[in-house]
Amino acid sequence: MNSTAATDPLVIAGRTFTSRLFVGTGKFSGPEIMRDALAASGTELVTVALKRASLSGKKDPFANILEFLDTERYLVLPNTAGAMNAEEAVRIARLAAAAGLPQWVKLEIHPDPNYLLPDPIETHKATEILVKEGFTVLPYINADPVLAQRLQDVGAATVMPLGSPIGSNRGLDTRHQIEIIIEQARVPVVVDAGIGLPSHAAAAMEIGADAVLVNTAIAIAPDPAEMGRVFDWAVRAGRRAYELGRPPVSRAASATSPLTAFLD
């Protein structure tokens, strides 16, 4: 397979991405391994939990995850993991911007620490506030089409519905809901969370997702760099298949060499 197979670029809030694979930076066994996996995945957007970084403006050798991210190569998308409500998420987004990070934010507001499912009410509230303040807001949401619409109404730059809970590796449990979100979308749709295999990522792209975000499946793989690379292939393959168009689906067999060909 030609891993450089061109797919059309993705544009979010005026910024162009040639890779449609976004990668998270949690759960890696070390910063060097993370750095290599990001490079191998070809990603151009990586998300970082601000709670793990030093936001004081001072370098901290014990909270230095940002130093391993080449900002020439990647858009570093701060995320608000750890926030339990809109107030906390807004505060941490402002602090990140003040510390010199891009004025982009992936909103992650999950009050439940077990399944890390996003709070729709608080996410909507925070999106509204941060958009007004000039942030490019990418909210992580459950695959709820009406919520996705409401977030687009208040200016979300993407919507990021989950395939299944974070870290579950269960794939597209919410596939049919995501299809509705995609059908109705006015902004790019990024399938985030639960993608455990390259085939899950490819499936998301085939149904028309604009990008996928993968973290656990790469981070805890025995060889994260290699897993990053194969996710890149899967995302490109899935996107290209989507661009080429899905063949019609039928319950009956349709012979590739019709029996009546001799009559033509």
Indicate which residues carry an active-site annotation: 106
Residue with tokens 């001072």: 58
Burial of 20 from C-beta contacts in 10 A (0-12 / 13-18 / 19+): buried
Task: Considering the complex, state which of residue 26 and residue 155 has its C-beta at the smaller distance from another protein.
Answer: 26
Q: Which of 8, 29, 71, 100 binds another protein (CB under 8 A)?
A: 29
Q: Is 57 in the site for another protein (CB under 8 A)?
A: no
Residue 177's closest CA among 147, 157, 197? 147
Q: Is 167 in the site for another protein (CB under 8 A)?
A: yes
The residue range among 21-29, 180-188, 206-214, 250-258 that interacts with another protein, by the rule CB under 8 A, is 21-29
What residues numbered 59-118 form the site for another protein, per CB under 8 A?
60-63, 82-84, 88, 91-92, 95, 111-115
Neighbour tally for 92: CB within 10 Å: 21
CA atoms within 13 A on the CB side of 63: 13
**CA 5, 217, 174, 128: dihedral to nearest 10 degrees?**
-90
Q: Which of 10, 38, 50, 162 binds another protein (CB under 8 A)?
A: 50
Residues in the interface with another protein (CB under 8 A) total 35
Neighbour tally for 131: CB within 10 Å: 16
Residue 230's closest CA among 25, 41, 39, 22? 41
Q: Is 159 in the site for another protein (CB under 8 A)?
A: no
Structure tokens at 175: 């596939």
Alpha-carbon distance of 218 to 228, in angstroms, equals 6
Q: Is 241 in the site for another protein (CB under 8 A)?
A: no
Q: Which of 13, 15, 27, 103 binds another protein (CB under 8 A)?
A: 27
Q: Is 220 in the site for another protein (CB under 8 A)?
A: yes
Task: Considering the complex, state which of residue 27 and residue 175 has its C-beta at the smaller distance from another protein.
Answer: 27
Q: Which of 45, 55, 185, 235 binds another protein (CB under 8 A)?
A: 55
Q: Give me the residues that bind another protein (CB under 8 A), please.
A: 26-31, 50-56, 60-63, 82-84, 88, 91-92, 95, 111-115, 167-169, 216, 219-220
